Amino acid sequence: MTLRPTVRALVAVTALLSLGGLTACSDDGGGADPQRVDVAAAFYPLQFVAERVGGDAVRVTNLTKPGAEPHDLELTPGQVGEVNQAELVVYLKGFQPAVDEAVEQAGGDRAFDVAGVQPLLDVHAGGHEHEHEGEDEAGHAGESGGKDPHLWLDPTRLATVADRLAERLGAVDPDRAADYTARARTLRADLEKLDAEFAAGLKTCQRREIVVSHTAFGYLTQRYQLEQVGMTGLTPETEPSPQRLAEVAREAREHQATTIFFETLVSPKVAETIAAQVGARTAVLDPLEGLSAGSGADYLSVMRTNLQALRTALSCS
Ligand SMILES: [Zn+2]
Ligand SMILES: [Zn+2]
């Protein structure tokens, strides 16, 4: 039996314990690596960007361990300590409530919120609607007025995050500012190449609707003129209603979907049920919220695998 005190309590306790350490931390290291900037990244895509832009000048800790789904992350006392001691916390406000709270408790001045880099898309952007049919009210995810946090699935947005992060790291560590800028430029070139591959690879396809488990792909579908039909809304843990499942099955049939996509970090059960109903197959479309444990992949390689999966499902030429 493990005890689960609230995050708020943990933050308060850890903040008290680390008060002495905070002042010493940037001067003599206080147990951290004094040669490198300690960065806490909230989840995988932010870790990827921090490592690529920071190179060997940073030490990056990912608060979401490999194989864990980040939306409902809970922080251990040790991780709250990492947020408190990090010289820079890279996070996405509104995506992981536990991280938002820890950053707020830690004061927020050492935090870099990637949600503030560019205006976020509305929840329904890149979605799929039949206005002429007047169908479903709750059907299209049942969320309205909110913002979609999954910005990393547009590679060009991630490149802009990298540019801003380089500026921020340069402010923390001015001696190496030029290195951060140069590495962000290299990363931007990689991401723009990926973007060009997506644009070309998805240009001519027989279908443009994708059936996915949670509506994580709004930035991707918006950028490449696809439309997503999600079984659940913006977070994967919500159970889809029988009505929603029936509607998704209807959409899949209507648009002759060959493939029902599921995610690496979430059970494929619902996707399999719908696929069996409509005579489609299932395949992975990875929202890159985290890597699988032990995976040797990175953001770029997973995105290229996603592109192949989309090209197959949509019969692109
Ligand atoms: Zn998500
Ligand atoms: Zn439709």
Q: How far is the CA of 130 from the centre of ligand 1 (A)?
A: 24
Domain range annotation of the chain: 7-116+150-192, 203-313
Which one of the ligands is nearest to 251 CA? 2
The residue among 238, 240, 216, 245 whose CA lies nearest residue 228 is 216
How far, in Å, is the centroid of ligand 1 from the Cα of 20?
37
- Maximum alpha-carbon separation in the chain: 66
Tell me which residue of 111, 117, 120 sits closest to 146, measured CA to CA. 120
Domains 7-116+150-192 and 203-313 equal at CATH topology level: yes
Rounded to whole angstroms, the Cα distance separating 36 from 171 reads 14
3-state helix vs strand vs coil in the chain, percent to 5: 50, 15, 40
Question: Is 188 buried (19+), middle (13-18) or exposed (0-12) by CB count in 10 A?
Answer: buried
CATH code of domain 203-313: 3.40.50.1980
User: In 10 A of CB 120, how many CB atoms?
Assistant: 21
Question: Bridge partners of 122?
Answer: 147
Alpha helices by DSSP H, listed for 18-96, are 19-28, 44-54, 77-85
What pLDDT does residue 144 have? Answer: 52
Which fold does the domain 7-116+150-192 belong to in CATH?
Rossmann fold (3.40.50)
Residuewise pLDDT in 10s, the chain (317 residues): 444 444 444 444 444 444 433 433 444 344 467 899 999 999 999 999 999 999 999 999 999 998 898 998 999 999 999 999 999 999 999 999 999 999 999 987 899 999 999 999 998 888 887 754 444 433 344 445 689 999 999 999 999 999 999 999 999 999 999 999 999 999 999 999 999 999 999 999 999 999 999 999 999 999 999 999 999 888 887 778 999 999 999 999 999 999 999 998 888 999 999 999 999 999 999 999 999 888 899 999 999 999 999 999 999 99
- CA dihedral over 100, 101, 102, 105, signed as positive or negative: positive
- For residues 98 and 75, is the Cβ–Cβ distance under 8 A? yes
Ligand nearest to the CA of 217: 1
Which ligand is nearest to the Cα of residue 136, counting in written order? 2
Distance 217 CA to ligand 1 centre (A): 8
Ligand nearest to the CA of 133: 2
Burial of 136 (0-12, 13-18, 19+ CB in 10 A): middle
Neighbouring residues of 109: CB distance < 8 A, sequence distance ≥ 6: none
Q: What pLDDT digit, counting tens, does each position of 3-39 carry?
A: 444 444 444 444 444 443 343 344 434 446 789 999 9
- Sequential DSSP letters for 239-278: PPPHHHHHHHHHHHHHTT-SEEEE-TTS-SHHHHHHHHHH
Which ligand lies nearest the alpha carbon of 127? 2
Q: What is the H or E stretch that residue 199 is in?
A: helix 177-201
